[in-house]
């Protein structure tokens, strides 16, 4: 089981007697459903329903909430939360703690938090000192693990304010609650859910050669998506699934930078292509 320091991640503490209510009315996930020793995906949206910040959220020491976010976005997230705080009895402060990922085998260790973005219970977050008795991995090792699982992160894989939660599968991994009350951007996200209008989706990309982040994915010369990030021949892509379904129905060749590409739905995701005659891995 390897562990690695994630230097590009940082944390915020949200504390106070009204912290749970404050966050419940702002972020996409259901704060009341947070369990012990887990970090769940969540996001703060624009009023138009696009992701402004995405992060992991869990209960920290003393019952406070910990937000695990891209290091470059922590300051802006703190400012945005402060704008929404008004007179609520809530404190928002950066935490001085290293962020680590631990993965590949079940483990029981004090302070270890399950990363709920991953369908299996063998990926964790650790905050503070490195765990003893566990081998060192690299941030690149974990990035490969994350990308091959079909999990995207703002700042690294997609720009803020450019995608909806459905685009990056937050509706599939518990990052969005459709049962709790209102939050910022909720009306737009709920409408997409109930009308089934999500057409851009994150997909796994497997190429016959090197995949280049930012490369356009073409079906017989027509654009259907973009490679977001890659590890060699494997990557994640943002794809117009309606256009992909049409391309597959017509046996069109699909490529990025002239390299043939196979696009599949992550096995844990429950969405399907619009056309029933083009089955994909992970359809439900």
The phi and psi torsions of 59 (rounded to 5 degrees) equal: -85, 125
Sheet of strand 65-70, all strands in order from the earlier edge strand to the far edge: 91-95, 9-15, 65-70, 51-59, 38-45, 113-115, 123-127, 99-103, 2-5, 135-136
Pairing verdict, β 123-127 and 216-219: unpaired
Smallest Cα–Cα separation from 211: which of 262, 280, 158?
262
Sequence-ordered list of residues with C-beta below 8 angstroms from that of 47, at least 6 positions apart, any chain = 184, 185
Q: And the tokens for 273?
A: 């292509």
Helix (H, G, I), strand (E, B) or coil at 70: strand
Q: And the tokens for 163?
A: 């995608």
Computed over every residue of the chain, the mean pLDDT equals 92
Taking only the tens place, the pLDDT of each residue in 55-111 is 999 998 777 999 999 999 999 999 999 999 988 899 999 999 999 999 987 776 778
H or E element in which residue 23 lies: helix 19-24
Strands (E), 16-103: 38-45, 51-59, 65-70, 91-95, 99-103
Helix (H, G, I), strand (E, B) or coil at 162: coil
- 173-182, 238-247, 257-266, 267-276: the lowest-pLDDT one: 267-276
Taking only the tens place, the pLDDT of each residue in 179-211 is 988 999 999 999 999 988 899 999 999 999 999
Taking only the tens place, the pLDDT of each residue in 252-271 is 999 999 999 999 999 999 89
Query: How far is the C-alpha of 179 from the C-alpha of 153, rounded, in Å?
Result: 24
Q: At residue 224, does pLDDT exceed 80? A: yes
The reply to whether the predicted model has a pTM over 0.85 is yes
| Ordered DSSP codes for 79-131 | HHHHHHHTT-S-EEEEE---EEEEESS----TT-EEETTSSSS-EEEEESSPP
- If one counts every other C-beta atom within 10 angstroms of the C-beta of residue 182, the result is 11
CA within 13 Å, CB half, 126: 21
Q: At residue 281, does pLDDT exceed 60? A: no
List the beta bridge partners of residue 202. 238
pLDDT value of position 275: 56
Query: How far is the C-alpha of 188 from the C-alpha of 238, rounded, in Å?
Result: 20
How many helices and strands (H and E) does the chain possess? Answer: 5, 16
- Residue 107, burial from CB neighbour count under 10 angstroms (0-12, 13-18, 19+): middle
pLDDT value of position 139: 94
Query: How far is the C-alpha of 130 from the C-alpha of 23, rounded, in Å?
Result: 29
**Residue 173 CA: distances (Å) to CA of 5, 11, 115, 165, 265:** 24, 21, 11, 10, 13
pLDDT value of position 284: 29
- If one counts every other C-beta atom within 10 angstroms of the C-beta of residue 272, the result is 17
Q: At residue 233, does pLDDT exceed 50? A: yes
Q: At residue 132, does pLDDT exceed 90? A: no
């Amino acid at each position: 089981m390897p562990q690695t320091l994630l230097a590009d991640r940082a944390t915020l503490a949200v504390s106070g007697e009204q912290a749970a209510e404050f966050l419940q009315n702002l972020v996409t996930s259901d704060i009341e459903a947070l369990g012990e020793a887990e970090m769940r995906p969540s996001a703060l949206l624009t009023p138009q329903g696009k992701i402004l910040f995405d992060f992991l959220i869990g209960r920290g020491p003393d019952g406070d909430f910990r937000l695990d976010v891209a290091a470059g976005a922590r300051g802006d997230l703190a400012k945005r939360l402060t704008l929404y705080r008004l007179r609520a009895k809530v404190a928002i402060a950066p935490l001085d703690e290293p962020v680590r990922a631990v993965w590949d085998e079940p483990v029981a260790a004090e302070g270890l938090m399950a990363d709920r973005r991953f369908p299996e219970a063998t990926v964790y977050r650790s905050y503070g000192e490195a765990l003893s008795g566990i081998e060192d991995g690299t941030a690149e090792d974990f990035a490969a693990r994350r990308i091959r699982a079909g999990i995207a992160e703002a700042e690294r894989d997609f720009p803020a304010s450019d995608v909806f939660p459905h685009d990056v599968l937050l509706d599939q991994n518990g990052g969005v609650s459709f049962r709790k009350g209102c939050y910022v951007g909720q009306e737009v996200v709920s409408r997409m859910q109930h009308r089934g209008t999500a057409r851009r989706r994150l997909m796994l990309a497997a190429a016959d050669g090197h995949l280049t982040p930012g490369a356009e994915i073409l079906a017989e010369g027509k654009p259907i998506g973009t490679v977001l990030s890659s590890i060699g021949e494997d990557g994640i892509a943002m794809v117009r699934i309606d256009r992909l379904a049409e391309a597959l129905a017509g046996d069109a060749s699909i490529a990025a930078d002239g390299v043939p590409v196979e696009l599949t739905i992550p096995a844990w995701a429950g969405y399907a292509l619009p056309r029933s005659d083009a089955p994909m891995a992970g359809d439900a």
